[in-house]
Structure 1
Amino acid sequence: MDNKDRLIIEALQNNGRIAISELAASLNMSDTPCLRRIRKLEQSGVIRGYKCCLDPKKLGYHVVIHAFVSLKSNSEEAGELFEKSIVNIPQVTECSVIIGHHDYLIKVVAKDLAHYESLLKKQISTIDCIAKIESTVELKSVFQRSTLPTD
């Protein structure tokens, strides 16, 4: 990946819908080589896809919860069961395996605390391999980055 590729991915991270002609012009390139570079970045997996960013509050999700999940055992089967189950809950927007006192960290969006309580009791806690869940409510998001450094 050279400097032109880095400039392309920086531009696409900020505006994934930019027209190829506009992107190419901003980089002093013609359309075809610019598009060829983008396709190469897509095929190599550097560019995994394109998304639109939504405002959770505009969709009624006013609460963000970070929950630490501990499993009953550290077996491969328990991990697979948890991961296959948690991915099916659309309000869980992130799930990471972590090191420390807990096994997973999940990020959950909810309409309010009552909604989170319902999700917790009716969906999350029903996953058989879970031993314990510790939840933390996010008071304010200072910032969220959807871009990565390219250097």
Structure 2
Amino acid sequence: MEEKLDGYDRKILAELTRNARIPIAELARSVGLSKTPIAHRIRRMEEMGLITGYRAILSPLKLGLTHVTYVEVSLADTREQALQKFNEAIRAVPEVEECYMIAGGCDYLVKVRSRDMADFRRIMAEKISVLPHIHNTSSHVSMEAVVEQTYTTL
């Protein structure tokens, strides 16, 4: 995929990651091409699967979701069917911001956003601890976000 992107594509992507609502005319001026080639390049990158969508990025802090906890999850069963059941179930928990299957001392690392410790305790008791095949969890409360960003560099 990398070889299919030229300097104009990279400029377009950089601008779109800063402001996905930028008008095509303004994007064209910024990149140094006319509107038609810009529109074609965007459509091509969408068709390539490089641009997967556009969305509003909400501020968790403004929504009152100031508490971040990372939960290490170990499963009792790690056969493929058990992993798939867990994956499907964890995707249905709206408070889970991120979930990664990892190698190491546990099977998954889950990022949970909540209002406060009491809210997190409720989420753990009612939504996470009851997920299929969970053997053990260990929670790590974030004290401060030092770096927190969306992917914007190429």
TM over 0.5: yes
- Aligned residue pair count: 150
Gaps in structure 1 of 5+ consecutive residues = none
CA distance in 2, matches of 1:61, 1:89: 15
The residue type equivalent to 1:109 in the other structure is R
| Alpha-carbon shift at residue 128 of structure 1 (Å) | 2.7
| Alpha-carbon shift at residue 147 of structure 1 (Å) | 2.3
Indicate whether 1:125 and 2:108 are aligned: no
Indicate whether 1:37 and 2:41 are aligned: yes
Report matched runs for 1:50-129 at 5 Å. Answer: 50-129=54-133
Residue 45 of structure 2: SS of its match in structure 1? helix
Gaps in structure 2 of 5+ consecutive residues = none
The residue type equivalent to 2:124 in the other structure is L
CA distance in 1, matches of 2:45, 2:148: 24
Q: Is the 2:18–2:152 contact (alpha carbons within 8 Å) kept by the matching residues of 1?
A: no
- Over 2 Å off, 4+ runs: none
| Alpha-carbon shift at residue 149 of structure 1 (Å) | 2.6
CA distance in 2, matches of 1:101, 1:147: 27
CA distance in 2, matches of 1:65, 1:133: 12
CA distance in 2, matches of 1:146, 1:127: 28
Percent identity of the aligned residues? 37
Residue 59 of structure 1: SS of its match in structure 2? coil
CA distance in 1, matches of 2:24, 2:127: 44
Residue 64 of structure 1: SS of its match in structure 2? strand
Output the TM-score relative to the length of structure 1: 0.96
RMSD: 0.9
Q: Is the 2:101–2:109 contact (alpha carbons within 8 Å) kept by the matching residues of 1?
A: yes
CA distance in 1, matches of 2:140, 2:87: 20
Q: Deviations over 1:50-106 (max 9, x none)?
A: 121111121121200111111102111111111110111100011111110111111
Q: Is the 1:14–1:147 contact (alpha carbons within 8 Å) kept by the matching residues of 2?
A: no
Residue 21 of structure 1: SS of its match in structure 2? helix
Given the alignment, which residue of 135, 139, 151 partners 1:135?
Answer: 139
Residue 150 of structure 2: SS of its match in structure 1? coil
